[in-house]
Structure formats: structure tokens, C-alpha cells
């Protein structure tokens, strides 16, 4: 599981461990990854530090992995910036983390045959850029739209290997990606009123959707984008 140091990734890792899963978690920050590791239930878990935008570190990560029955590709970063002020550097930075890193990792996992037969892959995408188009969200949304598109191609191509590939598409979730100062508390409260359920999601709301897609309960589902957004996109 990538992006396990905080937010949705951390919560998903903890919830998976509660259900008996043996985990390999990865992140960039040793201290924050250790915080997640200390909260995992059960034994046999591993933690591996890796910067997923570094090919060298990704290769080392791949070489350290056991056979896997499930993968959650959760690492991601955000940016809020009007289109006319978005430089190529902005696109490169966001796409390197949100798109190229998870796609390259999945490519190597399949090429090196680390993913076992009947395994499940879950990308953490977003409704942004896929079903919701807010001003200033173009770079982030484009990276998530690309991720969702590639997910479907992977689902088709990996189906003969009995590997399922899906994504979850959350609305706004209370994580560190909602940076203090980007929006005021008043603006956040006003934005929540757009949601029929009148609140942003919590990490658990998304984690349980990820767990469903990892589990045998979804064994006939592949190439699907599971929207978890409190009703925003209706």
C-alpha cells in the first residue's frame, strides 16, 4: 500500500489489518510511516521507505516485495491554481506523483509477477477531473482523469491474468490535503452545503470502499470507478 503515512492510506492500512490482512506499507517519511505501522493489528507486517518518483527507489522497493494479493495505490498530492497561472512545472510535479508513479509501480508489479493470480488493484482517484470540475482544480483533476482512464485499460489487459483493477473516486475528505489557508473555515462550510449529506467524507468512508474492492465480495467487478462522494455528483 502506497501513501500509507497519512489520510486515506493510513486509515485503509489500519482497517485492513483489523480484518486480518498482512500488510506491506510504504511512504516517504520514516517517522509518519512508523506511526501507521504502530497502529496495525496482528503480526508479519512490513514497512518500506520509498520515494515513488525515483526510479532507483522504486526498483529497490520492487526487489523487496513478497508476492501480493492486493495493492492500494494511494500516494498523491494536490494543487489549487487557476489555469492561466499553471506552468508546465506544475503539471509535471502533480503528474509525477499522482499518475506516473502509480502507473510505473503497477507496471513493474505485473512485469515481475509480484501480483498473484486473483489479486486486486485499487487506485485512489477522485471525482475531481472525472465528474466534478471546479475552478483552480484543473491540474489535479487532469492527473486523476488520466489515472481513471489508464485503470480501465489495465483492467482489460490484466483480466486474462485474473487480476482485477478498479478505482475509488472520493469527493472532499478530511485529510491533510485540505491545507489550512487554502480555504477559510467559512468557505469550507459553504462548500459542504453542495453535498446532499451536508458533510465532507472521513478517511474511513473511503477506506471501507477500498476494502470492498480488495475483497472477494467484489470478485466480479473490474474496470469500475467507485464514486464515494456524499452525493455531490448527483
Residue positions annotated with a catalytic role: 140
Cα atoms found within 13 Å of the Cα of residue 171, Cβ hemisphere only:
22
H or E, element range at 73: strand 68-73
Alpha helices in the chain (DSSP H): 7-18, 30-38, 55-64, 88-95, 101-111, 138-158, 185-192, 203-214
Joined grid coordinates for residue 119: 489479486
- The angle at the Cα of 187, spanning 194 to 140, to the nearest 5 degrees, equals 75
DSSP codes of every residue in 137-195: -HHHHHHHHHHHHHHHHHHHHHGGGT-EEEEEEE--BSSTTS-BTTB-HHHHHHHHTTS
Amino acid at each position: 500500500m502506497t501513501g500509507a503515512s497519512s489520510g486515506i492510506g493510513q486509515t485503509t492500512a489500519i482497517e485492513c489489518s483489523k480484518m486480518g490482512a498482512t500488510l506491506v506499507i510504504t511512504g516517504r517519511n520514516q517517522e509518519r510511516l512508523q506511526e501507521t505501522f504502530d497502529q496495525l493489528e496482528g503480526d508479519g507486517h512490513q514497512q518500506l521507505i520509498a520515494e515513488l518518483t525515483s526510479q532507483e527507489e522504486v526498483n529497490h522497493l520492487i526487489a523487496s516485495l513478497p508476492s501480493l494479493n492486493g495493492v492500494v495505490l494511494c500516494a498523491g498530492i494536490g494543487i489549487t491554481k487557476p489555469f492561466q497561472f499553471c506552468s508546465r512545472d506544475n503539471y509535471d510535479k502533480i503528474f509525477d506523483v499522482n499518475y506516473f508513479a502509480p502507473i510505473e509501480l503497477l507496471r513493474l508489479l505485473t512485469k515481475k509477477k509480484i501480483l498473484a493470480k486473483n489479486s486486486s488493484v485499487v487506485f485512489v482517484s477522485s471525482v475531481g477531473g472525472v465528474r466534478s470540475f471546479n475552478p483552480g482544480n484543473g491540474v489535479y483533476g487532469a492527473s486523476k482523469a488520466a489515472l481513471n482512464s489508464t485503470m480501465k485499460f489495465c483492467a482489460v489487459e490484466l483480466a486474462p491474468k485474473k487480476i482485477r483493477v478498479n478505482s475509488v473516486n472520493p469527493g472532499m475528505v478530511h485529510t491533510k490535503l485540505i491545507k489550512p489557508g487554502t480555504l477559510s473555515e467559512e468557505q469550507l462550510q459553504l462548500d459542504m452545503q453542495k453535498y446532499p449529506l451536508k458533510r465532507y467524507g472521513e478517511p474511513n468512508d473511503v477506506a471501507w470502499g477500498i476494502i470492498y474492492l480488495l475483497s472477494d465480495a467484489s470478485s466480479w467487478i473490474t474496470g469500475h470507478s467507485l464514486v464515494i462522494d456524499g452525493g455531490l455528483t448527483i
